[in-house]
């Protein structure tokens, strides 16, 4: 076959025998031999098509499959790590905690810089469980082989769904070079999702609607967007397919609860999924998303580190335009498709359109998400070939290639102000593709959508849904930008700063770098890393009137707590290993006692030892277990009298508990913190106040009188504020906030509580 043969589909799809049988008739009709060169030219074009397909496969092999086979890369370690922890029996309600998962990666000895399970679904890790006993790279090899098999099965289904034949199907699949390459290089799940969505389409076109819905439910268990087909099925009154999708989603939810527990699933539904739908999981301002949501954020929302130069900071305008554009596009396309049941050809076109629509309106689509566009492209091209709409087909094919090609960058431009528009080329090409699809739909629509009543209903829907979307978006954004003036330690592009510890030597914070986590010292407006190392360092702790600081180093042999000495110039050196098999240190204010957590398969016990004791394992007088693993301690802090206060979830929600002094008999009492799930306790230096993170929806900082009834809420807004630390005068707090940022990707804020 040849690329231009798509223009003459019916002639070229006819059997070779039919063409050979027609040769005598052609010769009789053309005695002068004017058509004699027709068949040799066809052979030449077919040869060219063979060469093009071979070239695309060769480039994919060289630039995609071989590098994927040789290197671990991101994102496969994310799935592999969670699968490995699941097989080992770890409780997984903290898989969406950035630093916790990074620590587990280090303990498992996975050679990869940064890991994160946000915004992945929990069942997506189960696909990797069969190979989780292997090394990460060996497991990826198995996964790549499975992906090749899935891609072949997808091609087989597409050949059966369309009339394009194997060669054209192969060409259109490998024309999506960048999405396919990145899916294999990163070890992503989107080839599997493509297979399940394509299988659902084949089943639907063959009137097996219940099974089609179930297949989409399985796809939604891996990546949530196929679940939105429920809207299409309801709109078209395809109730069996809708029931099948609900059954598939229910089965996926049941499997997730059984495998991962209700706490992890509830966290996903309550925080991760809403943040994903809003485009607030990873850096929401990154132009790499090439989405309407990211573009509008770049233009109209200011953020000191991630988006310091928008056109203007007008959150209300974003709150209006973001739902308006999405709802307008969605309603117009649904109006063009119509609610009537369609014939077989138009049904295929509508499936292609709906898959495209889900990608077009996705808030954070990475390049590998566009593997799903293969199904759209093949169904659309097949439709246009059958109609012999040469010009439109050529345009659709060119736009598809541009969408799936590399993103062009303007070397002279930077993503600031209105120049941000130059950094969203894929969004521009997707908009052009939307125009092509809309043109095809409208041109072949029955008269019903154009009736005045239907147009009025569509307009009313746009206005009503936009109003609702504006109200909810504006309410969500309200109060998220008020702490910008109190940010400290901001750095351009900084993604995460958390777990502050304050002392006379400075503020010490956990910071994410492009390759690992480190503890950074902030002093007099300058930032210096506590130690230069490729290891991950977390959770600094400090004491009053000392130049020492403690931090956790995570290694394949487990975590350990190191003590550093910081000189006046800010340079630090390791003084001693204070505790082995220990993480998340806390130090008493007088610098005498060190508390730390000791994990046992993901559940933490709380221990205390005297600082400077010579034995790391400690004797009876040096090392004390304060709370056993049944408490699964999350954070701990010292009271002024050496008692400990810690957070635990032994009663269904997080609460705060006070433990007796280490040398006394173990007595643990629950602190009364009514009305919220309480974490991150921090006791003021004067011993009067307890700061904590109180979660009723979003996590907010509260200050509670330790021996009284006063309770002050310090932070507000539909975002999370955690990890408070007191200044030496007991009047101000430094805490971590993800307001205006991605979920859990916090920045540091300093606020005065008492004047």
User: 268 pLDDT exceeds 60?
Assistant: yes
- Label residue 8 by pLDDT band (50, 70, 90): very low
Q: Does position 698 have pLDDT exceeding 80, yes or no? A: yes
pLDDT band of 37, cuts 50, 70, 90: very low
Please say if the pLDDT value at position 726 is more than 80. yes
Question: How do the residues of the chain divide into helix, strand and coil, expressed in percent and rounded to 5?
Answer: 50, 20, 30
Own/partner long-range contacts of 530-533 (Cβ < 8 Å, ≥24 apart):
530/564, 530/566, 530/572, 531/564, 531/572, 531/574
pLDDT (tens digit, 9 = 90+) per residue, 528-538?
888 888 899 99
pLDDT tier at 653 (50, 70, 90 boundaries)?
confident
State the pLDDT confidence band at 31, using cuts at 50, 70 and 90: very low
Provide the b/e sequence for 3-41 (b: ≥16 CB within 10 Å): eebbbebeebeeeeeeeeeeeeeeeeeeeeeeeeeeeee
- Does the structure show a pLDDT above 70 at 43? no
- Give percent of the chain with pLDDT exceeding 90: 72
Average pLDDT on 655-679 reads 85
Q: Which residue from 72, 85, 213 is spatially nearest to 144, judged by alpha carbons?
A: 72
Contact 605, 627 (CB under 8 A): yes
pLDDT tens digit sequence for 62-106: 999 999 999 998 889 999 999 999 999 998 889 999 999 999 999
519, 502, 501: which is closest to 510 by C-alpha?
Answer: 519
Over residues 539-558, the mean pLDDT reads 91
Average pLDDT over residues 513-533: 88
Q: Which residue has the tokens 């000191």?
A: 304
pLDDT tens profile 219-267: 999 999 999 999 999 999 999 999 999 999 999 999 999 999 999 999 9
> In this model, does residue 614 exceed pLDDT 90?
no
User: Can you name the CATH fold of 484-752?
Assistant: Neuraminidase (2.120.10)
692, with CB counted inside 10 A (0-12, 13-18, 19+), is buried
| pTM for the structure as a whole | 0.90
pLDDT of residue 738: 95
Residue 743 Cα distances to 116, 214, 323, 365, 751, angstroms: 11, 31, 20, 16, 21
Higher per-residue pLDDT: 505 or 621: 505
Give me the pLDDT at residue 696, please.
83
Q: Is 80 exceeded by the pLDDT of residue 189?
A: yes
- DSSP-derived secondary structure letter, 406: P
Q: Choose among 339, 431, 329, 349: nearest CA to 389.
A: 349
Q: How confident is the model at residue 318 (pLDDT cuts 50, 70, 90)?
A: very high
């Amino acid at each position: 076959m040849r690329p231009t043969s798509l223009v003459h589909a019916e002639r070229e799809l006819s059997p070779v025998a039919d063409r050979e049988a027609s040769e005598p008739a052609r010769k009789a009709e053309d005695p002068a031999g004017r058509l004699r060169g027709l068949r040799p030219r066809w052979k030449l074009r077919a040869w060219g098509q063979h060469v093009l397909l071979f070239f695309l496969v060769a480039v994919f092999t060289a630039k995609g499959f071989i590098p994927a086979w040789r290197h671990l890369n991101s994102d496969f370690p994310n799935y592999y790590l969670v699968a490995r922890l699941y097989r080992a029996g770890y409780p997984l309600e903290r898989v969406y905690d950035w630093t916790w998962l990074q620590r587990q990666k280090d303990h498992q000895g996975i050679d990869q810089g940064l890991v994160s399970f946000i915004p992945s679904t929990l069942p997506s890790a189960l696909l990797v469980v069969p190979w989780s006993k292997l090394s990460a790279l060996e497991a990826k090899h198995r996964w790549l082989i499975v992906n090749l098999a899935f891609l072949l099965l997808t091609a087989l289904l597409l050949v059966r769904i369309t009339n394009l034949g194997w060669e054209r199907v192969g060409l259109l699949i490998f024309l999506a070079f960048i999405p396919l390459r990145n899916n294999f290089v990163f070890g992503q799940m989107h080839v599997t999702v493509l297979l399940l969505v394509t299988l659902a389409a084949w089943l639907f076109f063959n009137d097996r609607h219940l099974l089609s819905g179930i297949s989409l439910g399985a796809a939604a268990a891996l990546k949530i967007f196929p679940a939105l087909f429920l809207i299409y099925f309801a709109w078209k009154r395809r109730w069996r397919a809708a029931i099948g999708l609900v059954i598939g989603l229910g089965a996926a939810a049941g499997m997730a609860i059984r495998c991962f527990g209700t706490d992890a699933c509830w966290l996903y539904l309550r925080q991760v999924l809403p943040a994903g739908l809003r485009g607030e999981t990873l850096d929401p301002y990154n132009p790499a998303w090439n989405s309407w949501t990211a573009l509008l954020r770049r233009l109209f929302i200011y953020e000191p580190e991630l988006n310091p130069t928008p056109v203007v900071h007008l959150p209300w305008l974003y709150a209006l335009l973001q739902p308006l554009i999405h709802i307008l596009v969605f309603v117009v396309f649904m109006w063009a498709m119509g609610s009537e049941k369609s014939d077989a050809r138009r049904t295929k076109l509508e499936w292609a359109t709906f898959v495209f629509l889900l990608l077009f309106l996705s808030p954070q689509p990475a390049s590998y998400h566009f593997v799903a566009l293969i199904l759209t492209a093949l169904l659309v091209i097949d439709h246009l070939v059958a109609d012999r709409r040469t010009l439109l087909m050529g345009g659709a094919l060119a736009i598809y290639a541009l969408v799936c090609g590399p993103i062009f960058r303007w070397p002279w431009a930077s993503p600031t102000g209105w120049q941000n528009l130059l950094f969203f080329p894929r969004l521009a090409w997707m908009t052009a593709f939307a125009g092509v699809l809309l043109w095809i739909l409208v041109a072949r629509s029955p008269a019903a959508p154009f009736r005045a009543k239907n147009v009025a209903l569509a307009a009313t829907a746009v206005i009503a849904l936009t109003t609702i979307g504006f109200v909810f978006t504006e309410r969500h954004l309200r109060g998220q930008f008020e702490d910008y003036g109190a940010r400290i330690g901001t750095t351009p592009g900084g993604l995460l700063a958390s777990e502050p510890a304050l002392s006379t030597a400075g503020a010490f914070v956990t910071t994410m770098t492009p390759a690992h986590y480190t503890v950074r010292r902030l002093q007099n407006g300058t930032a210096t890393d506590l130690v230069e190392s490729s290891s991950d360092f977390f959770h600094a702790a400090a004491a009053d009137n000392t130049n020492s600081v403690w931090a956790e180093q995570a290694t394949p042999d487990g975590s350990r707590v190191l003590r550093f000495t910081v000189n006046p110039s800010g340079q630090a050196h390791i003084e001693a290993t204070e505790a082995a098999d220990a993480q998340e240190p806390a130090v008493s204010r007088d610098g005498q006692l060190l508390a730390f957590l000791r994990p046992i398969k993901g559940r933490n016990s709380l221990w205390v030892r005297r600082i400077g004791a010579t034995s790391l394992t400690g004797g009876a007088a040096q090392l004390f277990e304060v709370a056993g693993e049944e408490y699964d301690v999350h954070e701990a802090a010292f009271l002024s009298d050496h008692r400990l206060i810690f957070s635990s979830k032994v009663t269904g929600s997080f609460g705060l508990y006070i433990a007796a002094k280490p040398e006394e008999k173990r007595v643990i009492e629950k602190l009364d913190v009514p009305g919220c799930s309480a974490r991150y306790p921090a006791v003021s230096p004067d011993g009067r106040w307890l700061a904590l993170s109180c979660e009723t929806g979003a996590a907010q900082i509260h200050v509670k009188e330790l021996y009284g009834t006063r309770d002050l809420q310090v932070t507000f807004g539909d975002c999370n504020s955690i990890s408070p630390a007191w200044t030496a005068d007991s009047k101000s707090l430094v805490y971590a906030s993800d307001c205006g940022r991605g979920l859990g990707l916090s920045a540091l804020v300093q606020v005065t509580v008492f004047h």
